[in-house]
Amino acid sequence: MKAIGHTTWVVPDGRIPRQSTGPEPEFTSRDELFVLNTGDAEAHLALTIFYADRDPIGPYELTVAARRVRRVRCNDLIDPEAMPLGVDYGVLAESNVPVVVHLTRVDTSQPALAMLGVTAVPVAG
Amino acid sequence: MKAIGHTTWVVPDGRIPRQSTGPEPEFTSRDELFVLNTGDAEAHLALTIFYADRDPIGPYELTVAARRVRRVRCNDLIDPEAMPLGVDYGVLAESNVPVVVHLTRVDTSQPALAMLGVTAVPVAG
Amino acid sequence: MKAIGHTTWVVPDGRIPRQSTGPEPEFTSRDELFVLNTGDAEAHLALTIFYADRDPIGPYELTVAARRVRRVRCNDLIDPEAMPLGVDYGVLAESNVPVVVHLTRVDTSQPALAMLGVTAVPVAG
Amino acid sequence: MKAIGHTTWVVPDGRIPRQSTGPEPEFTSRDELFVLNTGDAEAHLALTIFYADRDPIGPYELTVAARRVRRVRCNDLIDPEAMPLGVDYGVLAESNVPVVVHLTRVDTSQPALAMLGVTAVPVAG
């Protein structure tokens, strides 16, 4: 099957909420990156995280198998360093093959689930 | 009237929530696919569902009459097999005529409605 | 100032929620169309509403003054006929000049505000 | 690193909620503009705010350092004049270099957090 999407995506508006209510891990506040790879080749992504008051950190390497989706909680991105909570960030995602990228925030900091979908911006590919 | 939109869409970030609060069916947690066909010909869509740890499943066939909208709860997609709850997925939607596709999640797993709109990514057409 | 945007937009995923909690009109459940006209000429829009089980209804005429925004509650669209509650619909918006269109759902059917942003799809212009 | 995105963005559907519940500043209802500048040059943005019943106000000047993100609460935009609460607006954002722009609404006017993501519309660059 053909690889569909774009090779470069920019994701604005990142910030992992600090507080949570309700049982873990389902109701833990979080930012999640979602990558869909429709193609027949493994996708290798390099993520660069941009911050408000220091230099970008990266690359975070992420692999998505052929014809698979992968959802990653941003607080599980720990190499080259763990992402901080409650801090503004943006993501540059560069892939060797076309993929589709999306960011979802689950926020339970007040005792009722809220969700935010951040549409990633395709740039090239 | 002219068929408007695109013939191929990719929908990231699928996952039907497992838990619900409140009366059915209005407050049942769900993912809903919405298709709008502005044109004068019936739209025939083939959906392929991509997962994290197994091969894609499909095609799920979906028909939208001329000049009509259609909303489908993803857990009503049962042929060739029922879609599981609480599992990450992405959708490739291919249509014979241009349409507009959107995904909405209604999540009542905490006792207050939350909604997530996932903007589908047009690819061709 | 230049007119910015597109002349044709398609809005999927419409449905005005039937139930509300909290004081009116701020917490009345609703779908709202938002139009931004940056240009120096008045924008005249013709809206066609598509349904699941009957022919499209329209045109609904909507004027947005030069260099102005306008937010319209869909249940205030009554000519040629009032839009029903709890019914799926899509919108085709055609303008004489480029504008930017957005749909927002405010849903208070469970006693906690939920919001859904539906990104309109630009088609031409 | 290359500047990625677009130089002109239009943001529909602005309205800073009037009411809040929960401790400040985290749970204060607000509209937030988020700008991501991946490039090696400082980004200088000029924002023009469009209203429903009076002429546009601007420019609001906003600087985003090279390889940085910046999140601004719209009620902190006070020069040339403070933005009013509870009033519909749209934003035209013009930058000297490509950037990515996003708007997020945090609404705690009912005692449960709700979030709305408004995808900005890229126009040029």
Tell me the per-residue pLDDT of B28-49, one tens digit each, with 9 for 90 and over: 778 889 999 999 999 999 999 9
Which class for C86: exposed (0-12), middle (13-18), buried (19 or more C-beta within 10 A)? Answer: exposed
Report pTM. Answer: 0.91
b/e map C44-56, b = 16+ CB within 10 Å: ebebbbbbeeeeb
Containing B90, the helix (H) or strand (E) segment is strand B89-107
Closest CA to A113 of B86, D115, B26: D115
| C-alpha to C-alpha distance for A4 and C72, rounded to whole angstroms | 37
Residue A100 touches partner D, C-beta closer than 8 Å? no
- Helix, strand, or coil (residue B77): coil
- pLDDT, averaged across chain C: 87
- What's the gap between Cα D41 and its chain centre? 21
Interface pTM, i.e. ipTM: 0.90
With beta carbons less than 8 A apart as the criterion, state whether B61 and B44 touch.
Answer: yes
C116 token code pair: 């859904």
Q: Is the pLDDT of residue C55 over 60?
A: yes
Q: Quick one: pLDDT at residue C111? A: 65
CA dist C31 and A102 (Å) reads 25
- Lookup result for tokens 């009459």: B65
On average, the pLDDT of chain D sits at 87
Per-residue pLDDT tens for C82-96? 999 999 999 999 999
What CA–CA distance (Å, rounded) separates C10 from B37?
10
- Residue D61 structure tokens: 């000047």
Give yes or no for B10 touching A (CB within 8 A): yes
Distance (Å) from the alpha carbon of D113 to chain C's nearest alpha carbon:
8
For D47-63, the DSSP string reads: EEEEESSS--EEEEEEE
Question: d(Cα C94, Cα D82) in Å, to the nearest integer?
Answer: 34
Q: Does A119 touch chain C (CB under 8 A)?
A: yes
pLDDT in tens, chain A (125 residues): 788 888 999 888 898 888 777 777 877 778 889 999 999 999 999 999 999 999 999 999 999 999 999 999 998 999 999 999 999 999 999 999 999 998 888 777 766 566 777 776 776 55
Q: Give the angle subtended at the CA of A24 by the CAs of A18 and A25, to the nearest 5°.
A: 90
**CA D2 remoteness from chain centre:** 23
Q: What percent of chain C has pLDDT over 90?
A: 53
**Closest CB from C112, C114, C119 relative to A119:** C119
**Which chains does chain B touch, 3 or more C-beta pairs < 8 A?**
A, C, D
Please give the angle made by the CA atoms of C8, D89 and B118, to the nearest 5 degrees.
Answer: 55
Partner residue facing C90 (CB), from B36, B108, B117: B36
Is residue D109 within 8 A of residue A108, CB to CB? The reply is no
| Residue C47's pLDDT band (cuts 50, 70, 90) | very high
Looking at every residue in chain B, the average pLDDT score rounds to 87
Closest of C73, C66, C72 to residue C98, by C-alpha:
C66
In this prediction, residue D80 has a pLDDT band, given cuts at 50, 70 and 90, of: very high
Q: Which residues have CB under 8 Å from C23's CB, separation 6+?
A: none
Of B112, B117, B119, the CB nearest to D112: B112
Least confident of B83-92, D3-12, D76-85: D3-12
